[in-house]
Structure 1
Amino acid sequence: MTAPRVVASGLRFPEGPSWLGDGSVAVVEMKGESVSRVAPDGTVTVLGDCGGGPNGSALGAAGEVYVANNGGLSAEGTGYWHAPREFDGCVQRVDQDGTVTTVGGPLPGDAPHRPNDLCFGQDGTLYVTDSANWEDLRNIRPGRIVAIGPDGTRLGHVEVPAMPNGVAFGPDGRLYLSQSLTRKVLAFEVSGGEFGEPRQVLKLPSGMPDGFCFDGDGTLYVCGSIGNAVHVYVDGERKESIETGDGTQPTNCCVGADGSLYVTFGLTGQLVAYDLGLTPGTVHTGSIAGAAA
């Protein structure tokens, strides 16, 4: 495996990359309280000032970006970082003019809500994970996957224990979810915001599954986060592990139309690209009506 190409540095705990279709990549900067666009030449431009702790992104049908905002929390060494503008977590829409609105209303269950990652289904439903109170791991409550309809109405949700995290649709039409504290990736049958029973797909050999993505051949790339690796799976079997180096903390990934695997390194503040010649997978988009933030 060749060394990755560094696309951008100096990002403030980047997460949740999304390919924007023009050769650029959207990333959330958790400690920057913003979502930014990284151009192919590495130029970084803020798309929206979100406040809190932006944790994941998804491209909308009209070029807008949707953000899972955990409200202002990040792990930092042996403790936690809290955002200057901290609030209960929510889902946000960032339009191309920088306007930030909320979508889906208050999330179900007790606060604090910690939205982590999100993706669209084929029917335009937006699915978002809520990792619950992960700042208190000894007493962590079950989290949730929440479905939000195109009109902004909150549809169904399902409780998931042990810190639900990354989420994406697979080529088989199922909704895949990383369950960080068990090291597992689960899959759900979903329809119209309703959820079937979860099925275990795989379990990482080490580390903690964070964000992940599929390529067009159905290969799954799972960021191992604290394990400093991206694990590659074919039909549920581990094919290889891409070691990212000590102290990188790969948080999430996406496949670009250029065939590269883009990975955010949280601790080093980098967006990197592994030029693997991949076939891009299908990533669904949609639009959700927002309310003033």
Structure 2
Amino acid sequence: MSEASIVAEGLRFPEGPTWRPDGSVAVVEMQGEALSVVAPDGGVTVLGDCGGAPNGSALGASGELYVANNGGLSAEGRGFWHAPRQIPGCVQRVEPDGTVTAVSGDLPGPSPHRPNDLCFGPDGTLYVSDSANWEDLPDVAAGHVVALGPDGAVLGALEVPAMPNGLAFGPDGRLYVAQSLTRRVLAVDVHGGTFGTPEKVLTLPGGMPDGLCFDAAGRLYVCGSVGRAVFTYVGGELAETLATGEGTQPTNCCVGGDGRLHVTDARTGRLVAFDLGVDPLPLHTGSVGVSAGSPAGARPLG
């Protein structure tokens, strides 16, 4: 059984890890309202002051980072934490100098919009999950997976009920979507704003699927969130369970160039790593600029 080592501590409800070419890992701190960078030696530096509650991150073509900001909400025990600086849910672009700008326009469906995770597709389209009003689970609305073009405009959207969450493209070219409230992971063919029909790939044995990622061999890693484990799948079959321990709440993961699976444990405030000796699946990148109708509310750090 693989055991995790601690990479960094003291993070404020971390999510959305992204491996960077210099060996650092970008993480969002939901309750810190920030995008931070964890150096290889474990040092943590705040890069972008995002406001709201940054929920996921993705690397852009020129080294910038994109953040799915749900506007100011995270889970806290049996209740919810609300950000001191509430903003409209949006996608933000964080420059290498820390400048933060909203780059998405109006998102489809009723508000509140709760952008959760994001990733680029093979053609440079940015895909974002909008989990809808998950603070009201008995009456949660259908969410969406939204395709954004280079100008931040919505190219198309797929309605997904029961809280669409983590996103990742697989080696088969399909977009994989965690559907948290059904414990399922779906896969869908997509190009630009045109979506196919989602197919159920797997159902988690415990917990709720949150973030997910692939390695170069095609293994799929799914964070079980309240299940306190990361589940590894090969060809849709459960191959290994990586326990994260009591009180951890693993939210998302990425495979680094160092051969390790990096996992954010929200409740302990840690970034941990499992030394699995695997290679990352090369990620697609793209660039999204500032759109004219973007909501305000984010600002540069300092």
Q: TM-score, normalising length from structure 1? A: 0.99
Superposition map of 1:21-170 within 5 A: 21-170=21-170
AA paired with 2:50? Answer: C
2-structure distance, mates of 1:286, 1:6? 31
Question: How far is 1:266 from its partner?
Answer: 0.3
Conservation of the 8 A alpha-carbon contact between 2:3 and 2:242: no
In the alignment of these two chains, the number of paired residues is 293
RMSD: 0.9
Superposition map of 1:227-266 within 5 A: 227-266=227-266
Question: How far is 1:97 from its partner?
Answer: 1.0
Quote the residue 2:299 is aligned against.
none
AA paired with 2:18? Answer: S
2-structure distance, mates of 1:290, 1:152? 7
2-structure distance, mates of 1:142, 1:150? 26
Question: How far is 1:152 from its partner?
Answer: 2.0
Quote the residue 1:12 is aligned against.
12
| Secondary structure of 1:173 counterpart | coil
1-structure distance, mates of 2:45, 2:134? 30
Question: How far is 1:282 from its partner?
Answer: 1.4
AA paired with 1:230? Answer: V
2-structure distance, mates of 1:186, 1:95? 32
| Secondary structure of 2:138 counterpart | helix
User: Greater CA deviation, 100-109 or 254-263?
Assistant: 100-109
- After superposition, what is the alpha-carbon deviation per residue over 1:176-202, rounded to whole angstroms, capped at 9, x for unaligned? 000000000000000122100000000
2-structure distance, mates of 1:59, 1:126? 11
Unmatched 5+ stretches in structure 2: 297-302
- After superposition, what is the alpha-carbon deviation per residue over 1:254-282, rounded to whole angstroms, capped at 9, x for unaligned? 00011100000000000011111002111
1-structure distance, mates of 2:83, 2:76? 12
- After superposition, what is the alpha-carbon deviation per residue over 1:73-123, rounded to whole angstroms, capped at 9, x for unaligned? 011111110000012210000001111111121211111000000000011
Unmatched 5+ stretches in structure 1: none
More RCO (CA 8 Å, sep 6+): 2
Question: How far is 1:154 from its partner?
Answer: 1.2
2-structure distance, mates of 1:280, 1:68? 22
AA paired with 1:199? Answer: E
Structure 1 ranges of 4+ moved more than 4 A: none
2-structure distance, mates of 1:150, 1:173? 20
| Secondary structure of 1:181 counterpart | helix
Quote the residue 2:300 is aligned against.
none
Are positions 1:223 and 2:223 aligned together?
Answer: yes
Question: How far is 1:4 from its partner?
Answer: 1.1
AA paired with 1:223? Answer: C
2-structure distance, mates of 1:190, 1:104? 20
2-structure distance, mates of 1:210, 1:274? 18
2-structure distance, mates of 1:252, 1:105? 26
2-structure distance, mates of 1:66, 1:5? 27
Q: TM-score, normalising length from structure 2? A: 0.96
Conservation of the 8 A alpha-carbon contact between 2:2 and 2:242: no
2-structure distance, mates of 1:35, 1:232? 27
User: Greater CA deviation, 216-225 or 151-160?
Assistant: 151-160
2-structure distance, mates of 1:193, 1:173? 15
